[in-house]
């Protein structure tokens, strides 16, 4: 799909609502996006959704693609990506450069979270600010762990942190497990579970990070509330397009959490809340 730069973020948000395996985007004057899903595309529904957001594609094509070809799309031209002030995400097929940053090696596979998308960048920046200014041990939950880049970055910042990562996508968890092995030490402290919820004791997680779509925030809300600690809870929510975060913010403020910061980049929003 090709759209104008002004419509790119909205178009990509619409695409993510169609249960994607992944999305590759590249600016070429206009914005060019390749979106991949397992099932055939519901073409009429996609056109309807795009029209409802006043998005008019300059070009839109549907075609089958082999998994190997999709992985090649990921690898072509992907360079190490800086996140925050302290992290560098390095493709697994490249040698890490000489740098003072923590290096996380990632083989993306079919999972989301390579460090290039604003939602991942924003979530990590909030995490980095928090863990550097207030070092902590104990448990953190990463809801929608994807490739594991957020958890690995957090584990490198906080050696005493143990992380419970969840995802409902079996392919994402396979990719994540490979990435944990690529990053021994940090990866050893991350535990994975395939689930649509957050199966742990009530109030067991003092820190929860959820970088998922706005619709998934709605689905996971009750599970996150159940798992979040009642004492000094900290919540980082990312994955909202501008305006979508208002409902979640009001819900958590009603539960007693206060907004500590709101970060925005390219119309994407991340929230940091604490009691």
Q: Give 10-residue mean pLDDT values along the chain (275 residues).
A: 79 81 60 71 90 88 70 71 96 92 85 79 97 93 95 97 93 91 97 90 95 92 96 96 94 97 94 97
pLDDT at 119: 92
β pairing state of 22-28 and 30-36: antiparallel
Same domain, yes or no, for 49 and 145? Answer: no
Whole-Å CA distances, 131 to 83, 86, 227, 240, 273: 14, 11, 20, 23, 14
Residue 116 lies in a domain: yes
pLDDT at 112: 65
pLDDT at 26: 61
Residue 252, domain CATH: 3.40.50.150
Q: Whole domain around residue 30: which residue ranges?
A: 2-65
Same domain, yes or no, for 57 and 105? Answer: no
How far is Cα 238 from Cα 159, in angstroms, rounded to an integer? 24
pLDDT at 29: 47
pLDDT at 8: 78
């Amino acid at each position: 799909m090709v759209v104008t730069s002004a419509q790119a973020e909205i178009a990509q948000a619409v695409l993510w609502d169609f249960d994607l395996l992944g999305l590759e985007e590249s600016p070429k004057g206009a914005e060019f996006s390749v979106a991949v899903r397992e099932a055939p595309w519901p073409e009429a529904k996609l056109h309807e959704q795009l029209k409802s957001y006043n998005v008019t594609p300059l070009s839109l094509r549907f075609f089958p693609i082999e998994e190997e070809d999709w992985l090649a799309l990921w690898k072509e031209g992907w360079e190490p990506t800086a996140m925050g002030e302290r992290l560098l995400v390095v493709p697994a097929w490249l040698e890490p450069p000489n740098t003072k940053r923590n290096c996380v090696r990632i083989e993306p596979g079919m999972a989301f979270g390579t460090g290039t998308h604003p939602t991942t960048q924003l979530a990590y920046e909030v995490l980095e600010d928090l863990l550097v200014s207030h070092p902590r041990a104990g448990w953190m939950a990463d809801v929608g762990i994807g490739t594991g880049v957020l958890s690995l970055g957090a584990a490198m910042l906080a050696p005493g942190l143990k992380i419970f990562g969840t995802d409902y996508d079996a392919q994402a968890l396979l990719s994540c497990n490979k990435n944990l092995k690529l990053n021994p030490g940090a990866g050893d402290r991350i535990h994975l579970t395939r689930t649509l919820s957050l199966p742990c004791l009530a109030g067991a997680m003092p820190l929860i990070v959820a970088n998922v779509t706005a619709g998934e925030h709605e689905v996971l809300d009750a599970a996150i509330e159940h798992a979040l600690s009642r004492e000094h809870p900290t919540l980082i929510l990312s994955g909202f397009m501008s305006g979508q975060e208002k409902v979640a913010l009001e819900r958590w403020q009603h539960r007693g959490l206060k907004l500590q910061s709101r970060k925005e980049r390219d119309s994407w929003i991340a929230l940091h809340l604490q009691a």
